[in-house]
Amino acid sequence: MDKSIRNRALSGTALALAASVVLTACGGEDGSSSDAKAEAAPGTKAVAVKDPLVATFDGGLYVLDGESLKLADTVELPGFNRLNPAGDNSHVIVSTDAGFRVLNAAEQAFTGIEYQGAKPGHVVRHAGKTVLFTDGTGEVHVFGPDDLKGGEKPQGRTYTSAEPHHGVAIELSNGELLSTLGTEEKRTGALVLDKNNREIKRNEQCPGVHGEAAAKGEAIGIGCEDGLLIYKDGKFTKVDAPDDYGRIGNQSGSDASPILLGDYKTDPEAELERPTRISLINTETGKLRLVDLGTSYSFRSLGRGPHGEALLLGTNGALHVIDPESGKVEKKIPVVDAWQEPLDWQQPRPTLFVRDHTAYVSEPGKRKLHAVDIEAGKKVTSVTLPKSTNELSGVVTGH
């Protein structure tokens, strides 16, 4: 999120989770869906969980079975917490007030591994490495997710930015480390370090740099307030937005496609802009296409399917399956009731998490979680949880 919003949100106590505003009904339950009450007593012995999912709620974390969506256990944890896959089949990174913590979702318990520091930010998985960026210190930590298995903190690569800022970093397959440039007041672009942390490239033509995604051929895109900056084969290329202010702040990539999916905003003065257009950026041609979906979305709405499909969860309650080459919406899958993005970014809203051929979608207003078969185009499982959830993630191996 933008630094000003992030700092304002983090400065107070954790906000109570409020249900998303339900506007109108959108579709009915699919005939093939099952809807069960999730029941698990806190503190019970860990049970076997297949492909764990983790969701935050006000007071802790729910760990669920990725196939049945049954609630396996509840892990108590106060405050506003964020989630990201660690990169293996067991662990999830939890961002807390004090820094990054590692949760063994398979065992439904925290490990002793922590990366302390104020304002833990982006977590990036790529080329077999996981990279943590701590905004309050500018520290970058790189490790192999397999090194988490022993329960000891990995002795991985580290780097510290010249100035703390809301940033992001990613390590490439050749050992190069791309990391953003900026201060608490201004973010300008990115630099690239060789495997010995020596700077080899720099580009400061990316105002307000935010977020990253990797496309086919290891093309790395980072968002700017006037387009997108691509780093590929040792070179930076700027893709200009068609508007003077055309902000791409959230992106989603796929190894199966050279095209990145991004959001797109054009009003720098808006308290909260609710765009209806998305951006599709071809990292091979440098072309940017805007597609109007006729529905708004949030920063938790973007994802990619197993074949590179662009996925977007709209406020109309539908999961849009988009051909990234043509921009055509191939499917609109009704999943949740229509909703409106809340003004405060920490407040819950329907959230999309994609793993393989399944899209998981939370519905805080109804305390529900749904599993969608992307290719079949329908919900296959639904569950009702004890409390409304906020963030949603799970274990993911590979990139």
Q: What is the pLDDT of residues 237-277, one digit of tens each?
A: 999 999 999 999 999 999 999 999 999 999 999 999 999 99
Per residue, the 3-state secondary structure of the chain, as one string, reads CCHHHHHHHHHCCCCCCCCCEECCCCCCCCCCCCEEECCCCCCCCCCCCCCCEEEEECCEEEEECCCCCCEEEEEECCCCCEEEECCCCCEEEEEECCEEEEEECCCCEEEEEEEECCCEEEEEEECCEEEEEECCCCEEEEECHHHHCCCCCCCCEEEECCCCCCCCEEECCCCCEEEEEECCCCEEEEEEECCCCCEEEEECCCCCCEEEEEECCCEEEEEECEEEEEEECCEEEEEECCCCCEECCCEEEECCEEEEEECCECCCCCCCCCCCEEEEEECCCCCEEEEECCCCCCCCCEEECCCCCEEEECCCCEEEEECCCCCCEEEEEECCCCEECCCCCCCCCCCEEEECCEEEEEEHHHCEEEEEECCCCEEEEEEECCCCEEEEEECCCCC
- Residue 32 has a pLDDT of 34
Tens of pLDDT, residue by residue over 176-233, are 999 999 999 999 999 999 999 999 999 999 999 999 999 999 999 999 999 999 999 9
Tens of pLDDT, residue by residue over 335-354, are 999 999 999 999 999 999 99
The mean per-residue pLDDT over the stretch 384-391 comes to 98
User: Is the pLDDT assigned to residue 66 strictly greater than 60?
Assistant: yes
**Does domain 53-356+369-380+387-394 match CATH 2.130.10.10?**
yes
User: Is the pLDDT assigned to residue 46 strictly greater than 90?
Assistant: no
User: Is the pLDDT assigned to residue 13 strictly greater than 80?
Assistant: no
User: Is the pLDDT assigned to residue 35 strictly greater than 80?
Assistant: no
- Residue 150 has a pLDDT of 86
Per-domain boundaries in the chain: 53-356+369-380+387-394
> Which pTM value belongs to this model?
0.89
- Residue 356 has a pLDDT of 96
pLDDT bin (cut points 50, 70, 90) of residue 11 is very low
- Residue 47 has a pLDDT of 72
The mean per-residue pLDDT over the stretch 319-333 comes to 98
The mean per-residue pLDDT over the stretch 309-321 comes to 98
